[in-house]
């Protein structure tokens, strides 16, 4: 039995922090799962870090399903959550249900994540939850709204903006979301939201006081062309991979490999 949403709730009560990372293919999903990551998110950051788009907007549901199915084959213990791509859920709760249904039935996701909180999105979350679909919310910097936000900028910096994000997070909890991602907001605001909610908050660029943390895996491994300022790079694989490939090319050309 894999990690459950009930376990995440329990961990919040016990103060046990939740470790979340993203995966986009079988190989990395297997490594993350074996290393003991609690929640594996097939994030729509897939569009940027694996497919080379400049934003998450072009990603289709078909592309997401293709990658999520591969991740499913690598995940045994972690809870697997899949992002609903831009415009596959915003139109109506019924559209969201169809997309979430495909992600769960075809790719074996145990939960879906969607962006935004108030008020239409909270209604959509309630609709999905009533049908038995666990939903993770996502507020603060919501990359699917990048053009409306004027870039990948920190959110909630004014009292009014902070209040709106808090209201959205509460609306998501009231609608039945089992957790909420807080992206790129002031640490003080993230702490206030974390204290007010009974469901776990998962922070990214939101300080140390969330119930869990999430990063985009290629960022922490030093494999991304660009990364946000709040990322900690735990390994510099770009250097190691480049060196290994240069050595291979050189040995093939000089006929050192194969021996």
Contact map string, positions 124 to 153, toward ligand KIV, x by CB under 6 A: --------------x---------------
Q: How far apart are CA 129 and CA 121, in angstroms?
A: 12
Residue 211 near ligand KIV by CB under 6 A: no
> Number of H helices and number of E strands within the chain?
11, 8
Q: How far apart are CA 16 and CA 9, in angstroms?
A: 10
Contact map string, positions 81 to 100, toward ligand KIV, x by CB under 6 A: --x-----------------
Residue 175 near ligand KIV by CB under 6 A: no
* Choices 40-48, 73-81, 163-171, 240-248; region in contact with ligand KIV by CB under 6 A: 40-48
Is 115 flagged in the annotation as binding? yes
Q: How far apart are CA 162 and CA 143, in angstroms?
A: 17
Active-site annotation holds for 183: yes
Structure tokens at 113: 């994540």
Going by C-alpha positions, the residue among 122, 146, 139, 136 that lies closest to residue 206 is 139
Write down the least CB distance from residue 115 to ligand KIV, Å: 8
Q: Which residue shows structure tokens 């769960």? A: 104
Cβ-contact 83, 96 below 8 angstroms: no
Is 45 flagged in the annotation as binding? yes
Of 91, 106, 183, 192, which one is the catalytic site residue? 183
Q: How far apart are CA 17 and CA 61, in angstroms?
A: 31
Q: Which of residues 37, 162, 181, 220 is near ligand KIV by CB under 6 A?
A: 181
| Burial tier of 18 (Cβ tally within 10 Å: 0-12, 13-18, 19+) | buried
Residue 1 neighbours by CB distance under 10 Å: 5
42 vs 122 by CB, closer to ligand KIV: 42
Q: Which of residues 3, 38, 43, 96 is near ligand KIV by CB under 6 A?
A: 43
Residue 216 near ligand KIV by CB under 6 A: yes
Structure tokens at 25: 């293919």
Sites of contact with ligand KIV (CB under 6 A): 22, 41, 43-45, 83, 138, 181, 204, 214, 216
Binding site per annotation, positions: 44-45, 83, 113, 115
Q: Please identify every residue annotated as catalytic.
A: 183
């Amino acid at each position: 039995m894999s990690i459950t949403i009930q376990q995440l709730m329990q961990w919040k009560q016990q103060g046990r922090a939740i470790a979340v990372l993203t995966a986009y293919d079988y190989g990395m999903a297997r490594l993350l799962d074996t290393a003991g990551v609690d929640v594996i998110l097939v994030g729509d950051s897939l569009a940027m870090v694996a497919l080379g788009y400049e934003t998450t907007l072009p990603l289709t549901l078909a592309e997401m399903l293709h990658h999520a199915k591969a991740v499913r084959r690598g995940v045994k213990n972690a809870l697997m959550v899949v992002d609903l791509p831009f415009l596959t859920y915003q139109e109506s709760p019924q559209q969201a249900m169809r997309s979430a249904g495909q992600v769960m039935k075809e790719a074996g996701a145990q939960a879906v994540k969607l962006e935004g909180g108030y008020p239409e999105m909270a209604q959509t979350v309630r609709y999905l939850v009533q049908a038995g679909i666990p939903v993770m919310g996502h507020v603060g910097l919501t990359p699917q709204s990048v053009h409306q936000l004027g870039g990948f900028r920190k959110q909630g910096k004014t009292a009014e903006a902070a209040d709106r994000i808090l209201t959205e997070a509460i609306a998501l909890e009231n609608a039945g979301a089992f957790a909420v991602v807080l992206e790129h907001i002031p640490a003080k605001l993230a702490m206030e939201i974390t204290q007010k909610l009974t469901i776990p908050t998962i922070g990214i660029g939101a300080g140390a006081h969330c119930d869990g943390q999430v990063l985009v895996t290629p960022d922490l491994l030093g494999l991304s062309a660009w990364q946000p300022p709040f990322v900690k790079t735990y390994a510099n694989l770009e250097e190691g991979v480049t060196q290994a490939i240069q050595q291979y090319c050189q040995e093939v050309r000089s006929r050192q490999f194969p021996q």
